[in-house]
Amino acid sequence: MPPTRFLREYWQKRPLLIRNALPAFAPPLQPDDLAGLACMHGALARIVARKPAAPPRAGTRKAAEQWTVQVGPFDEGTFAALPESNWTLLVQDVDKWDADTAALLDAFAFIPNWRIDDVMVSYATDGGGVGAHVDQYDVFLLQGLGQRCWSIDTRPNPATACRDDVELKLLREFHPDQQWILQPGDMLYLPPGIPHDGVAAGECMTFSLGMRAPAASEMLVDFAERLAEALPESQRYADPDLAPAAESGEIDAAALQRARRTLGRIATTLDEEAFADWFGSFVTRYRCAQLPAPRKRPVDRAMLAEHLPRIALRRDPWSRFAWRRKGRGARLYAAGAGFDAPRAWARELASGARAFDGARLAQLPQTRAGTTLLAALVDAGCVTYRRR
């Protein structure tokens, strides 16, 4: 297939299985070479192990598979302690360490070289893999040794929610509609956003050629840093038109306009609500980066609500408070974090006081929502309390 056709019909559009993509392919390194590289200082290596779920008992749901991740560099004892199956060794940037692996990139010269991130090489025992997941970049999966079974989900709007009980970003649900077994020299191309899972059928090696696709947030941060380098130290937030504050802790519309003028055109990348939320978080963080210490255990919300009239509260010295109007309510900012709040509570807590009387707070409207807010501030370490 000519590169022009591939780019027109498949690139970032749909998957493509290429049988015998590299005829008589001989992998540029062997499993022992990869293990040796994983033991070197500076190599980015991981071992991912899967513990299959036990068969469900009658009347119970099937348990989820368990996964563990070890991060290198490793030693020989690490590999000796591994089981015979269900684990994978992954080493990133192998093309930076091995010239023969880097030569694989010559076959992809039709893609700008600055778009290619790295060649990651994985060795897997029978049943090994990294679980069903989604990559946000293009990837070419070239089979080096043995066989690997690839399953993908090409349906519109597939489920992409991740499990919260493992270190890896594994899909909570995976419903593949296509499946193939790849032999040495076969290759599978996947555009971004395609849920997929690869499981070794016996021992195997796979060479993954991943593309560099920086997130817009990553690009914006770097762009902002470049702009900041050119700005003079004298260009600062200024308010020569400041009028006496009606509410000490309020971030009003005039303050937000001044902030937008200070930043110039880059501020137009955020709408008014997003910009206001950023500014409230920014101005309540201390420049020396001191942060309040969160509680180890969440405060008892029922206790807090019941005993509020007899509780004395104090603002953490590293927690600056501010608030702004949001519809009929408010948004309260404390030490860089934002909380939806009843307006009366936001006004009271951001008044500049270092101590608060629980009896006074208990008389404010929307007490239930207010105590929920107060509990969140206590959990975050922004407010401490004692019962009288």
233 C-beta neighbours (distance < 10 Å), count: 5
Among 373, 375, 368, 370, CA closest to 301? 375
pLDDT beyond 80 at 367: yes
Confidence band (pLDDT; 50, 70, 90) for 387?
Answer: confident
Among 259, 299, 266, 296, CA closest to 281? 259
Residue with tokens 């807590």: 349
DSSP per residue over 345-371, as a string? HHHHHTSS-SEEEHHHHHTSSSHHHHH
- Mean confidence (pLDDT) of the chain: 91
Looking at residue 328, what is its pLDDT? 92
Q: Is 344 helix (H, G, I), strand (E, B) or coil?
A: helix
DSSP letter (8 states) at residue 305: H
Looking at residue 188, what is its pLDDT? 98
What the block records as the tokens of 206 is: 């796979």
Locate all alpha helices (DSSP H) within 271-364, ordered by sequence: 272-283, 301-307, 343-349, 358-362
Q: Any idea which of 76-90, 186-200, 287-301 has the lowest mean pLDDT? A: 287-301
For 120-155, how does the pLDDT look when each residue is reduced to its tens digit (9 = 90+)? 999 999 999 999 999 999 999 999 999 999 999 999
Residue with tokens 């009003």: 252
Exposure pattern of 281-320 as b/e (b: 16+ CB <10 Å)?
beebbeeeeebbeeeeeebebeebbeebeebebebbebbb
For 343-365, how does the pLDDT look when each residue is reduced to its tens digit (9 = 90+)? 999 999 999 889 999 999 999 99
Q: Is 9 helix (H, G, I), strand (E, B) or coil?
A: helix
Q: Which whole number is the average pLDDT over 184-192?
A: 97
Looking at residue 288, what is its pLDDT? 62
Separation CA 259–CA 269 (nearest Å): 14
Confidence band (pLDDT; 50, 70, 90) for 226?
Answer: confident
Torsion of CA 75, 80, 81, 84, to 10 degrees: 130
User: Bridge-partner residues for 142, per DSSP?
Assistant: 187, 207
Looking at residue 158, what is its pLDDT? 93
Looking at residue 214, what is its pLDDT? 85
pLDDT beyond 90 at 237: no
Looking at residue 279, what is its pLDDT? 92
**The domain at 301-387 falls in which architecture?**
3-Layer(aba) Sandwich (3.40)
> Are the CB atoms for 332 and 349 separated by under 8 Å?
yes
Separation CA 141–CA 130 (nearest Å): 14
Q: Any idea which of 58-62, 160-164, 209-213 has the lowest mean pLDDT? A: 58-62
Tell me yes or no: is domain 3-52+61-211 CATH 2.60.120.650. Answer: yes
Q: Any idea which of 207-211, 226-230, 301-305 has the lowest mean pLDDT? A: 226-230
Percent of the chain predicted with pLDDT > 90: 72
Among 352, 346, 353, CA closest to 376? 346
Looking at residue 270, what is its pLDDT? 81
Separation CA 12–CA 4 (nearest Å): 13
Percent of the chain predicted with pLDDT > 70: 96
Locate all alpha helices (DSSP H) within 31-151, ordered by sequence: 31-38, 76-80, 94-97, 99-102
pLDDT beyond 80 at 55: no
**pTM for the whole thing?**
0.73
Per domain, the residue ranges of the chain are: 3-52+61-211, 216-283, 301-387
| Amino acid identity at 25 | F
| Amino acid identity at 329 | G
For 275-322, how does the pLDDT look when each residue is reduced to its tens digit (9 = 90+)? 999 999 999 988 665 678 899 899 999 999 999 999 999 999 889 899
Residues in CB range of 158: below 8 A, 6 or more apart: 175, 195
Confidence band (pLDDT; 50, 70, 90) for 113?
Answer: confident
Looking at residue 57, what is its pLDDT? 66
Looking at residue 126, what is its pLDDT? 96
> Are the CB atoms for 344 and 365 separated by under 8 Å?
yes
Looking at residue 189, what is its pLDDT? 98
User: Bridge-partner residues for 8, per DSSP?
Assistant: none
| Amino acid identity at 30 | Q
Separation CA 6–CA 283 (nearest Å): 50
For 59-77, how does the pLDDT look when each residue is reduced to its tens digit (9 = 90+)? 655 567 899 999 989 998 9
